[in-house]
Copies of this chain bind each other. A is one copy, B any other.
Amino acid sequence: MNILLTNDDGIYAPGLRALRHELLKLGSVTVVAPATEQSAAGHSVTLLNPLLVSEVFETDGTTFIGWAVEGRPADCVKLALLELLPSPPDVIVSGMNAGSNAGINVLYSGTVAAAIEGAFYRRTAIAVSLEYDKKITDFPTAARYAREVIEQILAHKPTEGSLFNINIPVLELGPIRGVKVMPQNVSVYTEQFDRRVNPRGRTYFWASPEFLCPDPHPDTDVTALSESYITVTPLQFDLTDHAKLAELRNWEWKLGK
């Protein structure tokens, strides 16, 4: 099995390294990942700048890992599929992200966007993220869980273009209680900005690190994660609100009144 591995934390991030180590048990792994951290990059892509690419090797200097791209996570997937890989991968894995990507964070996430980009090209694509409380966490243990879940997804031979979002709960909270298949929570997070004035008198704002989801729906990814379940969410990328199409079609649209 040929696996394309990408992420949004950058090719040198410990989460990617830990996940690569586990995925090598399942097949051949080629990494095409951003050269630098791209957290909260969303589904941004690079249209106006050149995408510089470098080959990356293990510390032995000879074992080829893949390519670092000076671009966004979605750029990495496009370049991998259209230019860098000799043949299309069987599966695209994005992660393991340092920080969960659940609820509406799914839309801010470069990790998930890379997986969605893969699904655009009809590949099976899986995003993997690890929630954490403190800076240092046990990426290798989380990567083992992630690999187990990925193995089970692939064992079911998902149809082409299938897209999955896996979140691993905070390991330090206690033992993992199992796997729950959950929809994305849709409520907004509570955010704050810190307003300051710079020495030249200009106002600026810092986004606060507090990013709380008050009252998540009980049957969602956010809630199950907080209860120490690994969550799996099947995703799709049609943003149409199909339930509203018929209603809007009944409106009498006029132009040039």
Binding site for B on A (CB under 8 A): 39-48, 50-54, 74-75, 78-79, 82-83, 104, 106-108, 110, 112-113, 116, 120-122, 145, 148-149, 152, 156, 162-163, 165, 176, 178-179, 181, 183-184, 186, 188, 191-193, 195-196, 198, 202-207, 230, 232-242, 244-245, 248-249, 251, 253-257
Contacts and interface: CB of A to CB of B under 8 A. Distances in A.
B120 A207 contact: no
Contacts of A120: 104, 188
Nearest to A71: B205
A162 to B, nearest CB: 8
Given A179-B253, A193-B79, A240-B183, A42 B40 contact: no
User: Copy number of this protein in the oligomer?
Assistant: 2
Given A53-B202, A193-B79, A193-B82, A241 B251 contact: no
A221 to B, nearest CB: 9
A165 to B, nearest CB: 8
Nearest to A189: B120
Interface residues of A, dominant DSSP: mixed
A192 B82 CA distance: 7
10 contacts: A44-B108, A52-B198, A52-B203, A54-B202, A79-B193, A82-B191, A107-B237, A183-B242, A184-B240, A236-B240
A238 B112 CA distance: 13
Contact of A230 (B53, B193, B207, B255): B255
Contacts of A112: 239
Q: Which 6 A-B pairs have the closest CB atoms?
A: A42-B43, A42-B42, A179-B253, A234-B244, A183-B240, A42-B44
A240 B245 contact: no
B43 A108 contact: yes
A41 B44 contact: yes
Contacts of A156: 251
Given A42-B43, A82-B193, A255 B176 contact: yes
Contact of A234 (B48, B54, B188, B241): B241
B44 A45 contact: no
